Amino acid sequence: MEYLDQDTSNCSVGRAVGLVGQSWVLLILRDVTRGIRRFSDLQDHLGVSRSVLADRLGGLVDHGLLELHTYQEPGARRRAEYVLTEKGRDLYPLLTSLRQWGDKYLADPEGPALLATHHDCGAPVRARLVCDEGHVIGAPEEVDRTPGPSARPRPTADVPA
Amino acid sequence: MEYLDQDTSNCSVGRAVGLVGQSWVLLILRDVTRGIRRFSDLQDHLGVSRSVLADRLGGLVDHGLLELHTYQEPGARRRAEYVLTEKGRDLYPLLTSLRQWGDKYLADPEGPALLATHHDCGAPVRARLVCDEGHVIGAPEEVDRTPGPSARPRPTADVPA
DNA sequence: CAGCTAGGTTCGAAAGTCGAACTCAGCCGG
DNA sequence: CCGGCTGAGTTCGACTTTCGAACCTAGCTG
């Protein structure tokens, strides 16, 4: 059980939650992935307050998940558009895991509200746990957790200097 | 672009965010998955306030992600222990996606704090997008999104009754 | 029977979120 | 040139959530 004594404050899960666990962030990323890219369209679809939306979009740009592009169609005013960076696109597996879990446990009886299918073959898309040898992982019990290079021992109150 | 006019309020991503997107919930599930199962151990590892921890654990039990077991070792007081249900264990791919993304973009320079490896072969574990035909999905652009059985048209203000 | 521990609950203060109103710039019709 | 419209925010006071610290309660233990 010694890994329980590792500090989790620099665990990647914790850091990632700090970014994408803020309210509305995952929903913003879902909608941007769906092709909704403008401030007012996002506000319209999400129903979030403008102040929070502006704050979250700013944070996502600052952290490099989105880029703000301005473009101008002829005869129209300049408009802003938020597009995913690679860092943002790399969260798509996370969104898929979330959708998949929600479809299984929280969907309406008649089925999910959105189907994701492979563009090439039309088959449903899902997230799957695998190891680098190609084995499929079915349960958390099949996974060993060991401290990595940046693991720190947990600070204990009973060890004086 | 017609799928942009679907209502997203009953999308599984949104519902799932409503449950697991609450602050501390994913971190609680991470630690329970790691084997930390008692109230005070969780409070100790996470640094969350007791009131919020009690609220979140209660919510997770109510929603069937955790079960509260009480047990009594001989000569000791009765103690409580929170264990994952299948519904809770099924979030493990989500936690893995989160860890994987955090390891790639937010980890310390020397590497991640926690390594997850396959118990059978020792190879690193990762989440991967696949379709049911077995094709590996590399980018969100390879996925088609179509309205499912419970999709609703988006309420519009300009359609009178 | 006083003290300790596990597992909470209660409380006022601090932080976050809300909707509504306001700002600012560029385009448009008259 | 003037008033209005639209996109993209910012500001503001009310409301809600989260915080840390203190308190409570059972069941052991000396």
The pLDDT of residue B151 is 87
Q: Which of residues 95-124 of B touch A (CB under 8 A)?
A: 95-108, 110-124
Q: Is the pLDDT of residue A149 over 80?
A: yes
Nearest CA in chain A to B12: A102
Cβ atoms < 10 Å from Cβ of A37 = 17
Nearest CA in chain A to B91: A101
Q: Is the pLDDT of residue A161 over 50?
A: no
pLDDT band at B72 (very low <50, low <70, confident <90, very high): confident
Average pLDDT over residues A83-99: 97
Q: What is d(CA A90, CA B106) in angstroms, rounded to the nearest whole number? A: 13
DSSP 8-state assignment for residue A137 = P
Residue A73 C-alpha, separation from nearest chain B C-alpha, in angstroms: 19
Model pLDDT for residues B107-144, shown as the tens digit of each residue = 999 999 999 999 999 999 999 999 999 999 999 999 99
The pLDDT of residue A9 is 67
Residue in B45, B95, B127 nearest the CB of A93:
B127
Q: Which of residues 26-65 of A touch B (CB under 8 A)?
A: 26-27, 30-31, 33-36, 45-46
Which of A119-133, B68-82, B100-114, B128-142 is predicted with the least confidence, judged by mean pLDDT?
B68-82
Q: Is the CB of A81 under 7 A from strand D?
A: yes
Q: B26 vs A98, A141, B60, B65, B153, CA distance in Å? A: 12, 18, 11, 11, 32
The pLDDT of residue B10 is 78
Q: What is the spatial distance, in angstroms and rounded to an integer, between the CA atom of B76 and the C1' atom of C2?
A: 19
Non-local CB neighbours of A122 within 8 Å, separated by 6+ positions: B144
Non-local CB neighbours of B99 within 8 Å, separated by 6+ positions: A11, A12, A13, A16, B112, B114, B116
Give the residue from B118, B120, B132 with the most A CB atoms within 10 Å of its CB, the best one to mutate: B118
Average pLDDT over residues B63-69: 96
Domains of chain A with CATH codes: 2-142 (1.10.10.10)
Non-local CB neighbours of B11 within 8 Å, separated by 6+ positions: A30, A99, A102, A113, A114
User: Tokens 């790399």 correspond to what residue?
Assistant: A90
Nearest CA in chain A to B108: A150
Q: Which two tokens stand for residue A136?
A: 């499929």
Q: What is d(CA B94, CA A13) in angstroms, rounded to the nearest whole number? A: 10
Q: What is d(CA A141, CA B33) in angstroms, rounded to the nearest whole number? A: 9
Cβ atoms < 10 Å from Cβ of A50 = 11
Write the Ramachandran bin of A35: left for phi over 0, alpha for psi from -120 to 50, otherwise beta: left
The pLDDT of residue B110 is 92
Picking from B64, B17, B51, B112, the residue whose alpha carbon sits closest to that of residue A149 is: B112
Q: Is the pLDDT of residue A159 over 80?
A: no
Question: Per DSSP, which regions of A11-124 are E strands?
Answer: 66-71, 79-84, 114-118
Picking from A107, A44, A124, A117, the residue whose alpha carbon sits closest to that of residue B14 is: A107
Model pLDDT for residues B1-20, shown as the tens digit of each residue = 455 666 666 799 999 999 99
The pLDDT of residue B134 is 95
- Closest nt to B48 (CA→C1')? D19
Residue A144 C-alpha, separation from nearest chain B C-alpha, in angstroms: 5
Q: What is d(CA B56, CA B38) in angstroms, rounded to the nearest whole number? A: 13
CB B117 within 8 A of CB B125: yes
Q: What is d(CA B143, CA B137) in angstroms, rounded to the nearest whole number? A: 8
* A126 strand-pairing partners: B130
Model pLDDT for residues A31-76, shown as the tens digit of each residue = 999 999 999 999 999 999 999 999 999 999 999 999 999 987 766 7
Question: Per DSSP, which regions of chain B are E strands?
Answer: 66-72, 78-84, 114-118, 125-131, 143-147
